């Protein structure tokens, strides 16, 4: 790892959805998030924590993952990150104040990586919502991660480790799955790469950490009662030790509840493990992903053909 800046957490994801009313019902009634606000462009903000939002939905004709947004530890770390990405040729661009105000964050820039083609946003200081969440369906811990399907898992992993400030936690032989954490965030992984996928990069899942096993059991039954398809689980990952349940929404975004993730210390962490990719070793409880129905996972939006435009180099 060569990146000189320090992550705090995965802040939020921006997802384009084909039917924002239906997506809102899924987010609130099935998954248990709070609808916080709606912006002038029709985007809707949802939270499962004390931060202003954890997910933004944007109405669109085609479902697509727009970007991931990462909170760094403080202003000094944000400045370090901007200078670093400038130095290695990633051409970061500061966001205009009007956009940061709408996003309820203090300061931010974006960059597009040259390997995965993902838009990364780095920010500091999201508005805190001290009032309790209204939605009592689920108790969330606040931690999150997401997964991407990529054609070359090894190259994508090298980018994240060598250039983006991630550390390897575990990987499956053949680079089938690679699990990486945003240093020094202690969660076992902040990003999962599923390798060997032909075609464009696709968004696989977003995961929220929940408080107790009852949250997962209730989601399992809620999904069945509301005709929501289950992708994987209930099971337990052999890597992070997390109990999990993955479900689909109507746009084929996969949503996960996860409980009991391994925590890494900043110093003295264990070495990454090369895990067996044999089917019988994929889940400690014998859970198997349901591939009986073929789902077209949403693509990840890229802007490689149109570089980001910097609003100011001294924002």
HSE-CB of 188 using CA atoms within 13 angstroms = 20
Confirm if 201 and 112 have CB atoms less than 8 A apart.
Answer: no
Quick: pLDDT tens for 150-197.
999 999 999 999 999 999 999 998 878 999 999 999 999 999 999 988
CB 94 within 8 A of CB 109: yes
- Please write the tens of the pLDDT for every residue from 19-62: 999 999 999 999 999 999 999 999 999 999 999 999 999 999 99
Q: State how beta strands 254-259 and 243-248 pair.
A: antiparallel
Say how many residues make up the chain: 315
Residue pLDDT, tens place only, 89-106: 999 999 999 999 999 999
User: Is the pLDDT confidence value at 315 over 90?
Assistant: no
User: Which domains, ranges and CATH numbers included, belong to the chain?
Assistant: 7-133 (3.10.180.10), 140-299 (3.10.180.10)
Cα–Cα distance, 166 to 190 (Å, whole number): 9
């Amino acid at each position: 790892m060569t990146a000189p800046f320090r992550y705090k957490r995965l802040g939020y994801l921006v997802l384009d959805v084909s039917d924002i009313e239906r997506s809102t019902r899924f987010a609130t009634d099935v998954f248990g998030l709070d609808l916080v606000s709606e912006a002038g462009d029709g985007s809707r903000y949802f939270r499962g924590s004390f931060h202003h939002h954890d997910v933004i939905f944007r109405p669109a004709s085609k479902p697509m993952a727009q970007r991931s947004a990462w909170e760094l530890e403080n202003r000094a770390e944000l400045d370090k990150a901007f200078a670093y990405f400038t130095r290695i040729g990633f051409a970061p661009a500061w966001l205009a104040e009007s956009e940061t105000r709408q996003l309820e964050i203090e300061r931010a820039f974006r960059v597009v990586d040259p390997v995965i083609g993902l838009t990364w946003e780095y920010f500091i200081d999201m508005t805190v919502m001290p009032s309790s969440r209204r939605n009592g369906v689920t108790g969330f811990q606040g931690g999150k991660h997401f997964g991407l399907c990529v054609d070359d898992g090894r190259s994508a992993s090298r980018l994240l480790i060598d250039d983006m400030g991630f550390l390897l936690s575990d990987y499956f032989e053949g680079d089938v799955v690679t699990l990486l954490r945003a240093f020094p965030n202690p969660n076992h992984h902040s990003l999962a790469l599923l390798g060997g996928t032909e075609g464009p990069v696709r968004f696989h899942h977003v995961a929220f950490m929940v408080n107790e096993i009852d949250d997962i059991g209730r989601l399992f039954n809620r999904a069945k009662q509301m005709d929501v398809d289950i992708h994987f689980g209930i099971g337990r990952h052999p890597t992070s030790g997390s109990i999990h349940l993955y479900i689909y929404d109507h746009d084929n975004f996969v949503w996960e509840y996860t409980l009991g993730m391994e925590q890494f210390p900043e110093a003295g962490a264990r070495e990454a493990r090369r895990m067996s990719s044999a089917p019988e070793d994929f889940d400690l409880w014998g859970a198997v992903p349901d591939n009986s129905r073929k789902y077209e996972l949403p693509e990840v939006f890229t802007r490689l053909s149109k570089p980001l435009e910097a609003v100011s180099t001294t924002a």
